[in-house]
Amino acid sequence: MITPVEVKVRITSVGFQTRYKSSMIGVEIDDDGLRKDAKKHFLISVNRKLLPCEPAQGQVWKVRGRSSSRKVNKHGREILESRVSADSMEFVLPYGGEAFIRFVADQREFSGIGERKARKLWNEFGPKIFADIKDGKRERLRGILSEDSITALFKGFERFNALEYSEFFARHGIPQGVMQRIFRKHEGSIKQRIEEDPFRLLSFGLTWSAVDEIARKSFGVSEDSSIRLSAAIEASLLEESGRTGNTVISLDGLRKVLKKKLKTNSLVTQALGQTNFTGSFAASDKGYHPAGSLIMESVIAKRLTKRLYDTPAEPGENLIATEAFESACEEMGMGVGSGRSATEQQVNAVISSDLYYVMALSGGAGTGKTTTLGLITRTLGASGVEVHGIALSGRAAKRMGEATGIKAKTIAKFLRSPPLRPDKRSILVIDEASMLDTPTMYKIVTHVSSDVRLLFVGDVDQLPPIGPGHVLRDIIDSGVIETIQLDVVKRQKGDSAIPSYSRSIRDGVVPQDLSIGQVFFHPVDDADLNSTCIELMRADPESSMIVGATYASVHGGIDGLNLLAQETLNPDAKKWEFEVDGVRKHLKIYVNDPVIFTRNDYDSDVQNGTLGRLVSIEQQPGSYGVVQIDGGERLSVTQALLECVEPAYAISLHKAQGSQFRRVIVPLSPSKLVDRNWLYTAITRSEQELHIVGAESRFRRAIEFDSASSKRQTYLRELLIKEGKLDLAGVS
C-alpha cells in the first residue's frame, strides 16, 4: 500500500547514483539525532534535480514523498523496510549532540575530525559550538583541534550553512537544480552576492530570459540598469561562444544578439555605450571578447612565443647524420635496403623538432604524418631528449603510443599529474591537436615550464574543437610558429583510395568517381538509410564502426542505429541486469554488444572513448559485469562505470575523432552538422574500407559549401603575430 510520508532521516549509506536518480538508505531520527526505531530503515529514491547538494553518509534530511513498506530479513534480523519515492528533500543542519557528532565525523569536508574529536567538541561547548564556528573563534578550539582541522571545520560549516538559503532561493523562483550548482560552488555570502547582482545566476546554468525575469520581478532591477545591460552583453558573448565556438564577436554580430535580449535599439546602444563595465568582457579592434577567452588566448600566445627565437640545443642539421636518426629509420622500416627512405619534408621535420621550442606538424590522410612523428620521437629519444605524449582521447593516446614507442597519456590524465618541470631536455608532443580548444590549451601551457618544447601534430582540416577556439589553425595561420606541412599523398600498392578521396573532399571538389577502390558510395533515400547501414555492418561486424552525426535523428541517428543493430546482429543475447542496494536494474545493453565508455574514470583507468565488448554480466562483489577492452584487457565494471557505458555499434564523430577503424560506415543523416569538415573527418576515420550511405545530393552539397567551422572567429592568431613581433624586436 502506498501512503504519504514525511520523515527526518540520517543517511547511513549512499546507494546507486545515475545522471538522473540518486538512492540512499537512512534511519529515522529525533531532534537530538538519536535513532527512533532500530527495526526500521528507509530506502529512498529521488530525482537528483531535487537535491541542493550531493547526499553523503551522516547527513540529515527531511524527506517528503510516497512510501510502501515490507518486512525483510537482514543479517538474521527481521526489519521493516520503507521504500520512499521522494517528492522533496530538505537538508537539515545538525543541532543535537549526537547529530552534530555523526555529521562532523562522517562528512569528508571535515578532514582530520573523527568521532572522538567531534564528541570532545560537543562535550566541551555543547550548542554554543555553532556560534563559535559562525563567529570564527579559532582560539577556543585550539586545545582540541589542529589548525588545519579548525580551518576544515569552519569551511565545511560555511558550505553547509549555505543550504539554509534554500527557502530564499525557492521564494525567488530559482530552480532546485540551480540551487544544487550554487551550493556546490558556494563561496562566502552567496545570498548577499545574488541580492547585489541577481545576474550572477547566469553562471549557474539559467537562461537569460529566466534570470532576467527573476531579476526584474523578485529583485526590482530596472530594464535600463547598468547591471542588467552589462549582464546582457556578457550573456550574449558567452552564448555565442558556446554556440559557434567563437572567442571574439564583431560589433554587428553582438548588436543582433543583444537586440533579442534587450528588445529595443535604444537599450542596445545604451548597453554598448557604457563605460562602467563589470570586467566580464573586453573590446578590441576585432570585436568583443568574453574576458576569460581573451585572458586565456593572451596567456597561450605569450607562452608559445616566449622562446620563439631561442634554440633548445645546438643547431641540429647534423642530427640526421647521427646513429639516433639511422636507428629511428630502421625502426620505421625506412633503413638501408628497405626500398623506402625519409622524404625531404620528413627530414626537415626531424631537424626542426631539434631547432625550435614550438613547432607544428600538419598533414592530411596518407601524407605520412604518423611515420614522421615516429621518426621525430625515436630520434630525439635516442639523442637524450625526454619525450612526453598526450592526446585528447584515450584511444588516440593509445594509438600514438603504438606509433611512436613512447608512453602517451590522455590530456585529462596529464593535467591531473604533477606539472611538467623536468631537469633534462624535454619535448611534449600533442597529437590530434586539431581537437584542442582554448580552455584546454590554456591548461596545458600553464602546466609545463617554458623549458619544455611543444610539438603540435594534427590535421587542421578536421572537425574543429567542441569548445571555443581553433588553436591548431591559429598556430599555423599566424606564420609565427615553425610549421612543417606534409602535403604529398604517398600512394602504395593496394591503395584503398581513401587518402586521395578525402583530399578531394577537403578541397571542396566532389570526387569524379563516387565509388573507387575500397571507397563505396551507396545512394539511398532517407527511409532506407538505417537498414542499409545495418546490412553493411552485418557483412563484417567485428571490423566495422558506424560513425554518425546526431543521436536522435530518425534517419541515421546514432541511438536508432544502435537499437536496430542490437535487434539484427545480437537478437538472442541476455540483457544486462543487476541488483543495486536491493533494487533490480538494467541497461539497454546485451551480452556481446560492443560498448563505449563516455567519461574518464581514473580509478578504473578508463578514458572517455574507450571501446570494448560486454563479455559477462555475472555480478560479483564490486563488479556488475566484464568488458573486454580493445586490445584484450578484461575490465570489471564498477558502479561508477555503469553510468557512463553505452552500446557502440554506432558512435558520434566527436567520439571517433582521434581514432581509426578498419572498416567505417558513414550515414549521411539530414543534419546541418554534415558539412565538408564533418565529411572529411568521418572519411579519414577509415583505415582500409569506407562505405558512405545516403542521398547523393546531400553528399554533393556538403562538399561544395564552406563548413561552418571555417567561419569560426578567434583572436589567438592576431595575438601570436603581435607577441612574435615583440620578441623579434628584442632579438639583437
- The whole-angstrom separation of Cα 557 and Cα 540 is 21
Cβ–Cβ under 8 Å, residues 180 and 53: yes
For the stretch 258-267, pLDDT in tens is 999 999 999 9
What's the pTM value of the predicted model, to 2 decimals? 0.77
pLDDT band at 487 (very low <50, low <70, confident <90, very high): confident
Classify the C-alpha dihedral 100-106-112-114 as positive or negative.
positive
The DSSP output letter for 675 is S
Q: Return the number of other C-beta atoms located less than 10 Å from residue 348's C-beta.
A: 16
pLDDT greater at residue 369 or residue 97: 369
pLDDT at 520 over 60: yes
How much is the average pLDDT of 358-379? 91
How much is the average pLDDT of 189-204? 81
- The whole-angstrom separation of Cα 321 and Cα 404 is 20
pLDDT band at 596 (very low <50, low <70, confident <90, very high): very high
Environment class of 42 (CB within 10 Å of its CB; exposed 0-12, middle 13-18, buried 19+): buried
Return the C-alpha cell found at 708.
561552418
Return the C-alpha cell found at 428.
611534449
At a CB cut-off of 8 Å and minimum separation 6, what does 55 contact?
11, 14, 22, 24, 61
pLDDT at 732 over 50: no
- The whole-angstrom separation of Cα 382 and Cα 323 is 8
The pLDDT value recorded for residue 690 is 97
Of 89-98, 251-260, 686-695, the range with the lowest mean pLDDT is 89-98
AA letter at 115? E
Return the C-alpha cell found at 81.
523496510
- Residue located via cell numbers 592526446: 391
pLDDT band at 413 (very low <50, low <70, confident <90, very high): confident
For the stretch 149-164, pLDDT in tens is 888 888 777 666 655 5
For the stretch 541-590, pLDDT in tens is 999 999 999 999 999 999 999 999 999 999 999 999 888 766 778 889 99
pLDDT band at 495 (very low <50, low <70, confident <90, very high): low
Backbone angles phi, psi at 26, to 5 degrees: -140, 165
How much is the average pLDDT of 468-487? 95
The pLDDT value recorded for residue 278 is 63
The pLDDT value recorded for residue 486 is 92
Beta bridge partners of 579: 584
The pLDDT value recorded for residue 103 is 76
Angle between helix 676-683 and helix 498-506 axes, rounded to 10 deg: 170
Which residue from 151, 167, 171 is spatially nearest to 159, judged by alpha carbons? Answer: 151
Q: Spell out where 281-330 has E strands.
A: 281-284, 287-290
For the stretch 25-64, pLDDT in tens is 999 988 777 888 888 999 999 887 777 677 878 788 889 9
pLDDT at 187 over 60: no
At a CB cut-off of 8 Å and minimum separation 6, what does 497 contact?
516, 517, 518, 519
How much is the average pLDDT of 170-196? 67
Q: Spell out where 392-441 has E strands.
A: 408-410, 426-430
The pLDDT value recorded for residue 493 is 45
Of 336-345, 474-483, 625-634, the range with the lowest mean pLDDT is 336-345
Q: CA gyration radius for the chain?
A: 30
For the stretch 663-720, pLDDT in tens is 999 999 999 899 999 999 999 999 999 999 999 999 999 999 888 778 899 999 999 9
The pLDDT value recorded for residue 532 is 97
- The whole-angstrom separation of Cα 128 and Cα 122 is 9
Which alpha helices (H) appear in 541-591, and where do they start and end?
Answer: 558-569
In SS3 terms, 182-216 reads as: HHHCCCCCHHHHHHHCHHHHHHHCCCHHHHHHHHH
Q: Return the number of other C-beta atoms located less than 10 Å from residue 21's C-beta.
A: 14
Cβ–Cβ under 8 Å, residues 681 and 432: no
Range of 103-107, 387-391, 406-410, 423-427 with top mean pLDDT: 387-391
pLDDT greater at residue 649 or residue 165: 649
- The whole-angstrom separation of Cα 728 and Cα 732 is 9
Environment class of 37 (CB within 10 Å of its CB; exposed 0-12, middle 13-18, buried 19+): exposed
Q: Is 606 helix (H, G, I), strand (E, B) or coil?
A: strand
- The overall average pLDDT reported for the chain is 86
